[in-house]
Amino acid sequence: MGVIGRALLVGARAGIVAGVLYFSVLAALIAFGALLGSGSTTMFALVLFVGAGVACGLGLGLAAGLVGGTTLAVLARDGAPSEAALRVAGGAAAGGTVLILTLAEQLTGMVGLLTPDLTTVVVIPTAVAVAVGTASAPGLVAAQRGQPKRPLT
């Protein structure tokens, strides 16, 4: 499996985990607000909300993984870039992709389940993508290089 395939797997896993955590916290806040405001919410609605978070996280993670993996594959093909260059490229590619997608969503008004708040819709998902892209970039490229072949004796 190449850099792009591994980056897609990392992006998908990170997106799902981030979506579940983020939307679970929001669901807990919604439930707590319903209790304090004597409103009502159902468990089914909260589960659907978290499920939508999984879908959003998976979509953004796959897009960031595809662009980040392609960027890292091009960098690795041209030579042996330093770890710092890989981290910058991975973070910029993944974070830039998520930034563009979430900003387009925010500007067109297609926010969906979340309130149209810049921090909730754009800033936090972009920060997560930059962190995952930066942290995983050197490992993705190093796994492609593998260990050198030993001569048979």
Contact 94, 131 (CB under 8 A): no
Establish how many alpha carbons lie within 13 A of residue 19's alpha carbon, considering only the half-sphere containing its beta carbon. 23
**Under 8 Å CB-to-CB from 41, ≥6 apart: which residues?**
30, 31, 34
One-letter identity of residue 72: L
Can you spell out the DSSP letters for the chain? --HHHHHHHHHHHHHHHHHHHHHHHHHHHHHHHHHHTT----HHHHHHHHHHHHHHHHHHHHHHHHHHHHHHHHHHHHS---HHHHHHHHHHHHHHHHHHHHHHHHHHT--TTS-S-HIIIIIHHHHHHHHHHHHHHHHHHHHHH-PPPPPP-
What span, in angstroms and rounded, lies between the C-alpha atoms of 97 and 90?
Answer: 11
Residue-wise pLDDT for 83-122, tens only, equals 898 899 999 999 999 999 989 888 887 777 677 778 888 8
pTM value surpassing 0.85 = no
What span, in angstroms and rounded, lies between the C-alpha atoms of 24 and 18?
Answer: 10
Q: How confident is the prediction along the chain (153 residues), in pLDDT tens digits per residue?
A: 688 888 888 889 898 888 888 888 888 888 887 777 767 778 888 888 888 888 888 999 999 999 998 988 888 887 778 889 889 999 999 999 999 998 988 888 777 767 777 888 889 889 999 999 999 888 888 766 555 555 555
